[in-house]
Structure 1
Amino acid sequence: MSDIDNNELRAETKEQGRAAFFRRIDNNILEMIAHLSGLESMKISQFDKKRTALVVIDVVNGFVREGAMKSERIEEIVSPVLNTIEAFRNNSMKIIAFADCHSENSSELTHFPKHCLADTSESEIIDEIKNAGGYILINKNSVNGFFAPDFKKFMNENPDIDTYVVCGDCTDICVMNFCLTLKAYYDQQNKPSEIIVPIDSVETYDDCATHNGDLMNIVALEMMNTAGIKIINSVEDN
């Protein structure tokens, strides 16, 4: 067999391998969609009020209404997030609202566009949630609110809380980073915990070139599920 024939055979084999890889990916995505589509909701009465807190991540103007990182997709979760906040508030349960808040020299701004600078409207919680009230505001300077000093303070002051319902944005960035770290924190200490993410109350942005929002949502939710985080459809008030 000539070198040309060998090269053609290798190229054909490589192409077949690539095609098989994408077929597997397609099948896996369909299986993930089927799994996520069949999840049930939870009623607020199913939670222990004294042991459960709601965490709302980055529902701020800079991701919802204005600036370089705003997304219409995030706007779509405002209503279900408000419903979840209302359910927790009506039952006198604790609520945390994380807000992305950066200085001009924040290291995060070397790999994300400038966004949510301190003392600007971008770093403020959206008006609908402000008006609802009843939450503890925690500013954060990274994609992982777990490391915000005020969250550590909250955990120290509320040692009985071991169940967290997490909503907000972005599913595959700040939500996933926080949930995975929080779950790992409890696992490291062999402490029981439940981290819960309602699908109707999380979302991510869309960038056709590099970041397909639908795909990133699916993959992030399944990654969290694999790590022991409970994915549900929604939280319903009674």
Structure 2
Amino acid sequence: MANFVESATPFLGYLQTWHDNIQAAALDELIAGKPDTVAVVCVDVVVGFCQEGALASPRVNQIVAPIARLFTELHERGVKHFVLPQDTHEPDAVEFGAYPPHCVRGTREAETVDELKALPFSDEFMIIPKNALSAFVDTALPGWVREHPEVETYIVTGDCTDLCTYNLALHLRMDANARQLQRRVVLVEECVDTYDVSLETAQELGIRPHPADFHHVVFLHHMEQNGVEIVKRLV
């Protein structure tokens, strides 16, 4: 293999320009007068990734307010499908071999953040527990999707861009492709993000680095390459 850093440099310049040119989209045009055909799927916006615990990230916590605003705007326009897949791990979760224990069933970390629970329509949320990065593996989400064929547009929000959000958006897209469905999967960038571990911090702690800006943009681009629509925000 050629020198990776050298060969990747031109692409990184392209990637910066691509990201800088992501545009906002009109919410009313997306709904198009048919709110029953729209669902928002919000993955892992729970206390354990936003505010408390080993994997809580201040950066991820910053998406909570934009998500709450988007939820409110959608509900005001008649959207009723709010689907929230959330980490709800077993105490001995196999995943804890790769990540520190987090979001264990019955703990505060596994709860929806208070900012979303405080919304006056939060009783309409469909909470879907999951025990892995994927919101589709061994969960109620595949059944929900098949039971709601009227939903033609899925708005994707949540964390982390390169982990659970990526798996969610691509599965929604691949499921539609495999079943020949005309489905839109729209990811709202201001409502997704990932955690940051600098190289220096990783070396100090003996863990893997995770540069958030790099992973965020690379995975947004990969999702778009595979048919997910990426918008800056919905206005």
TM-score under structure 2 length normalisation: 0.88
- The yes-or-no answer on 1:202 pairing with 2:177 is no
Is contact 2:36-2:78 (8 Å) kept?
no
Q: 1:230: which partner in 2?
A: 229
**Structure 1 residue runs without a partner (length 5+):** 1-13
2:146 aligned partner, one-letter code:
N
* Contact persistence 2:65–2:115 (CA under 8 A): no
Partner residue in 2 for 1:33: 16
2: distance between equivalents of 1:185 and 1:145? Answer: 13
- CA drift of 1:152 comes to 2.3
Q: Distance in 2 between matches of 1:162 and 1:141?
A: 27
Structure 1 runs of 4+ aligned residues shifted over 3 Å read: none
Q: Distance in 1 between matches of 2:188 and 2:9?
A: 25
Give a deviation string over 1:137-191, Cα, whole Å, max 9, x none. Answer: 1111111112353212322331111211101100000000111111111111221
Distance 1:221 1:230 in 2: 9
| Aligned equivalents of 1:82, 1:233: Cα separation in 2 | 16
Q: How many residue pairs end up in the alignment?
A: 219
Matched, 1:63 2:49: yes
Q: Which amino acid aligns with 2:210?
A: H
More helix by share: 1
One-letter amino acid of the counterpart of residue 75, structure 2: R
Q: CA RMSD in A?
A: 1.5
For the pair shown, the structure with the greater C-alpha radius of gyration is 1
- Partner Cα separation in structure 1 for residue 104 and residue 156 of structure 2: 24
Aligned residue for 2:70? 84
**Counterpart amino acid of residue 168 in structure 1:** G
1:142 partner SS: coil
Q: Is the 8 A contact 1:88 1:95 kept in 2?
A: no
Q: What's 1:9 paired with?
A: none
User: 2:153 corresponds to which residue?
Assistant: 163
Residue 45 of structure 1 is matched in structure 2 by 28
Shift of 1:30: 2.1
2: CA distance, partners of 1:92 / 1:113: 40
TM-score, with structure 1 as normaliser: 0.87
Opposite residue 96 of structure 1, the aligned amino acid is V
Which residue number in structure 2 is paired with residue 174 of structure 1?
164
2:90: which partner in 1?
A: 103
Counterpart-to-counterpart distance in 1, 2:9 and 2:74:
38
Match of 1:131 among 110, 118, 142: 118
Q: Provide the C-alpha distance between the structure 2 equivalents of 1:109 and 1:162, rounded to a whole number of angstroms.
A: 35
Task: Provide the C-alpha distance between the structure 2 equivalents of 1:120 and 1:190, rounded to a whole number of angstroms.
Answer: 40
Q: Distance in 2 between matches of 1:105 and 1:143?
A: 15
Structure 2 gap ranges (5+): 203-208
- 1:68: how far off? 0.6
Q: Is the 8 A contact 1:139 1:148 kept in 2?
A: no
Residue 75 (str. 1) matches residue 61 (str. 2): yes
